[in-house]
Amino acid sequence: MSDLRPFVAGLPKAELHVHHVGSASPRIVADLAARHPDSKVPADPEALREFFTFTDFAHFIEVYLAVVDVIRTPKDVRHLTYEVARDMARQNIRYAELTVTPFSSTRRGIPEAAFMEAIEDARKAAESELGVVLRWCFDIPGEAGLESAEETVRLALEHRPEGLVSFGLGGPEIGVPRPQFKPYFDRAIEAGLHSVPHAGETTGPETIWDALTDLRAERIGHGTSATQDPKLLAHLAERQIPLEVCPTSNIATRAVATLDEHPIKEMVAAGCLVTINSDDPPMFGSDLNNEYVVAARLLDLDERGVAELAKNAVRASFLDEAGKARLSAEIDAYTSDWLARR
């Protein structure tokens, strides 16, 4: 198989499962840590790489929350958001639905209105200056319990920013059953937000069923364990409920033992709508370009196959129909031009 990295690097892309804080590169985190020298996070980028080495999912959450602690002011929020968009632009990401956890910032004292103003100011600047269209998914940090669910849905509805399109649920799955969050998802859905919870990453397929039944999930974050239940896999394929697959993340958090054992091949073989995402890319030593190269190897894809995978993300996105048509056409034009020059 030819080296697909140059093709992937220039390919226009959309990303649907990527976290706001988790997208902070060592460069960005070092900037933020230097502003707050009392934090646990090292300001040296080399030391940060060691800091971002995880033993398991629980350790990942611990490190993630330490990074959250260096985001203490609206200026920090704005800097993080814009710089994440800058890193996306370098990868030719044209559209991203960024998962934001406002509860983590507002409970640390950042005023609610100032937080919303900071992300929106960065979003508008990213689109006009970098050509990256950002939309928000506000998610409940599951480890913080129902208090965080109530606060997240309140923030989403009372301070609804222009870029907000969806409502999610992240954090640990073990010991955090999905059905308890039903009332909060019901309120978000009634307000017009899309439902995109994490499910089946570190737990079994029953968690995915709960997300579909109780939370009315329109997409599934991860869905790694779906292949353990043939009935579920058939249901996802028949309904074309998109799966937000994050291969390197699943290895880093020990959700999957090795890349060669990743269930993405079974998902595609069953006819599921699979999208490729990076989750918390710098923390896992990856980026979206790398995830596409990994997926291409696992699925034995050529350039056209990779382009179709990129179009899956556009199809599964909450971008308007005109925007979807434009981005899909851009992917097609890029691919045709690339193959004509080869």
Active site residues: 201
CA distance 157 to 116: 12
